[in-house]
Amino acid sequence: MPPKRRRSPSPSILPLPALSTALTEEPALSHSPHASKKLKLLAEFNSTSPFPTFQHPTAAEAKSIHALLASHTPGGAPVHQAPSSGSNSATTCGHAPNVLDALIGTILSQNTSSANSSAAKRSLDAAFGTGESGFAKMVAAKRDDIVTAIRCGGLANRKAKIIQEALSTVKEKHGRFDLQHLAAPGVTDEQAMQELVSLDGVGPKTAACVLSFCLGRQAFAVDTHVFRLAKLLGWMPKSADRVGAQAHLELRIPPELKYGLHVMMVRHGRVCKGCKKDGKGSCVLKTWVKENGVEGGKVESEGEHDIKDLPKMEADAALTRGQARTRRMVKQ
């Protein structure tokens, strides 16, 4: 039996980096208070984890889990393939070449099954069409018409509002319904993430899905399955919420592992009964945890979140700044 791995001490809170620069040199639109908070938090945790002294996962641990899941995945670890124009962007969380369409598909995939979100996307396309003309019709439509089209996907009222407002904001900023500039080689991952998160109702998980599945960028989306399994593996403090977990894992997971690890963790989380809440039975990850002496965590529920965890993250950031000021006062 290998020696038990020592867990990192409870993460101390350290000062955070300053707000990063704007996405482009173009005059920025004024953001809603909630969008401004998201952008500020995104910038604060761009280079420093919310849990700066929590040192897991190490690169070796991430590689170990990647290899373990790959050995149980037919064909091995998945590699990102360029999306085809005929793909349903709601089926695979944004695997479509059109960035704006990928964003809509990812929004529809929140808090529901793949079958439901795919049906909602097909219904939306049938009702309004696709591409620039379809986006224009969605913006001009009555909200209830969009709600009716996507009702089978769940949370239709909320998703219809997010879709219409996102489309309107994109048109106002760029003069057309188009986000293809985010696919340009000169646009960094951080810049693409900033523009997507600046849209009301689009959180870091949704934006990371678009970056990863549509743009082929090295982003690590923390959905309900990834969050639960990362807790099991001891890859975050037990108190971490979804947004804090994503900010932490985005920095801890080696870039070359992000896409494959995300896909395999989602697949494993969907099919393995042994590692679900109160689950019984065999699970390769539970076995790894036991053999490596990891003190894993448990998740109380498996419900989707996304931007719902931002208020807590904002409070944590405020606490961080307050503690930093306190330390400076003590030193004086």
Assess contact for 72 and 275: CB atoms under 8 A.
Answer: no
DSSP letters, 270-284, are: HH-STTSTT--S--H
In sequence order, which residues have a C-beta less than 8 Å from that of residue 315 and are 6 or more positions away? none
* Angle subtended at Cα 215 by Cα 175 and Cα 209, rounded to the nearest 5 degrees: 100
Which residues are catalytically annotated? 205
Please say whether the dihedral angle defined by the alpha carbons of residues 211, 200, 42 and 311, taken in this order, is positive or negative. negative
- How far apart are the C-alpha atoms of 204 and 198, rounded to whole Å? 10
CA distances 207 to 20, 57, 132, 210, 218, Å, are 18, 23, 21, 5, 12
CA atoms within 13 A on the CB side of 222: 27
In the three-class reduction of DSSP (H, G, I as helix; E, B as strand; rest coil), residue 216 is classed as coil
What's the CA dihedral at 285, 290, 294, 296 to 10 degrees?
A: 60
Assess contact for 233 and 215: CB atoms under 8 A.
Answer: no
Residues in the chain, how many?
A: 332
- 248 CA to centre of own chain: 12
DSSP letters, 216-252, are: --------HHHHHHHHHTT-S-TT--HHHHHHHHHHH
- How far apart are the C-alpha atoms of 233 and 230, rounded to whole Å? 5
